[in-house]
Amino acid sequence: MFRRADVPAGLGRPYYVFLLAQSVSNLGSAVSLVLVPLIVLRLTGSPLSLGIAMAVEFLPYPLFGLVIGAYVDRLSRRQVMIAADAGRMLAVASIPVLAHAGMLDVWWIYLAGFTISTLTIAFNAAEFAVMPALVGPDRLDAANGRLSAAYSAVGVLGPALAGVSLMVMSASTALLLDAGSFAFSACCLRSLRRSLPERVAAAGREPVRHSIAGGVRFVFGHPVLRACAILLALTNLLVGATAEKQIVTLAKQHYLATDSAVSWLFVAAGLGTTIFSLLSARLARRLSAAQAILIPFFGGAVCMFCIGVAESFPSVVVLWALGSGLGMFFVVNLRTLRQRLAPPRMLARVVTVSQVLSWTPVPLGAVLGGWVTARAGSAAPVFAGLGVIQLAIAAAFLLGPLRRADAYLNVPAGSGV
């Protein structure tokens, strides 16, 4: 039974309106997560094309991430999120429009993915920055856990909805569900004009390059934030970029799974992440900040290896669910740690600088993973290798600054570290 302290009371109506808006938006995105790889495979039949599709989605991080973070710390964070939703709605809707006109090419999907990713950087930076003011620093773990749980829950419904939609319409037409979800989110955010915190104290009139430099100096100068960024960069380059896209290849080519069967991988992942998200605040109280990051990271590596040597598709589904849940537990605690370590005036810059460092290797990792999978002829040994690599990365960070993360939580944000 949950103790009273485990209940995230007092989060407030604005938080729950925001939660509803982003739950619907992420339901649409979960549908697209299933549909877009299928569209790419149908257009090209190539695992390498899947890798390229993922690569272009991460190119905006090194190209625009630092600039976006600097501007989000200066602008109305609510207006940034509304504009990002509107832009993403148009980008997603363009795919079914072109498909019905008989003009859809894989290159347009790459362009749409690039655009959506750029706008998502802005939205996520604003969301990350607004959360401490929206719920208060003492309820960040509960708020982040609830938000992640809601995202994960719709991650279960989204693939199921995608599977149902594929029975009655084409994959490209079903993307209109995602476009509509962005419109709903924008409308909800507009209704929060008087209650949603928009910005902190003005950043002054310093040049944007100075704001960017300040964010970079803070992240690189903070041992824990720097270690987290490097950990993610290595993982995304050598493991994550390949696993996220090539799981579809593993299902389709190694296990000869149907499109509907593939959707169960995403349903399972949603179930796993929902369970671990709901338990995140309770579990985190029993662990140190370092343990809450490193333990699920080790566990995810074991799951990855087991996926590579599994003998049946149902086993892969279960392992993918467990690994996804552990990954979400890792992400929730990392997000909360970053929010508590960064000063309010720099929240957007801290998250975008960290994302640039973490996600810049993804395009190379995605293309490399697609090439390796194509050369191997089977994704199964590739996944076994990914598990070994992630275990090695985890072991390398056991003795680093992450082990002492709790000590830095007692240092006031913005002070010397």
Tens digit of each residue's pLDDT (9 = 90 or more) over 72-81: 888 888 889 9
Q: Can you give the pTM of this predicted structure?
A: 0.72
Question: What CA–CA distance (Å, rounded) separates 12 from 150?
Answer: 16
Question: What CA–CA distance (Å, rounded) separates 401 from 337?
Answer: 13
pLDDT interval class at 299 (50, 70, 90): very high
How many structural domains comprise the chain?
1
- CATH at residue 273: 1.20.1250.20
Other CB atoms within a 10 A radius of the CB of residue 86 amount to 15
- Quote the Cα angle for 105-108-112, to 5°: 150
For 199-224, what is each residue's pLDDT tens digit?
Answer: 554 555 678 888 888 889 999 888 98
- Is residue 337 situated within a structural domain? yes
Please tell me the predicted confidence (pLDDT) of residue 1.
Answer: 30
For the chain, what percent of residues have pLDDT higher than 90?
24
- Is residue 416 situated within a structural domain? no
Residue 90 CB-half CA count within 13 A: 7
How far is CA 77 from each of CA 14, 156, 247, rounded to the nearest angstrom?
14, 29, 35
- Is residue 276 situated within a structural domain? yes
Question: What CA–CA distance (Å, rounded) separates 293 from 249?
Answer: 29
Q: Where are the alpha helices (DSSP H) in 236-312?
A: 241-249, 259-284, 289-309
**78 and 369 Cβ atoms separated by less than 8 Å:** no
Other CB atoms within a 10 A radius of the CB of residue 414 amount to 13
Please tell me the predicted confidence (pLDDT) of residue 3.
Answer: 38
Please tell me the predicted confidence (pLDDT) of residue 204.
Answer: 53
For 153-204, what is each residue's pLDDT tens digit?
Answer: 776 788 778 888 888 888 888 899 999 999 999 999 988 876 665 555 455 5
Residue type at 46?
A: S
224, 227, 229, 235: CA torsion to nearest 10: -140
- Is residue 2 situated within a structural domain? no
Domain extent for 314: 9-409
- Is residue 1 situated within a structural domain? no
- Is residue 4 situated within a structural domain? no
- Is residue 3 situated within a structural domain? no
**265 and 258 Cβ atoms separated by less than 8 Å:** no
- Is residue 414 situated within a structural domain? no
Compute the Cα dihedral for 147, 149, 155, 158 and give only its sign. Answer: negative
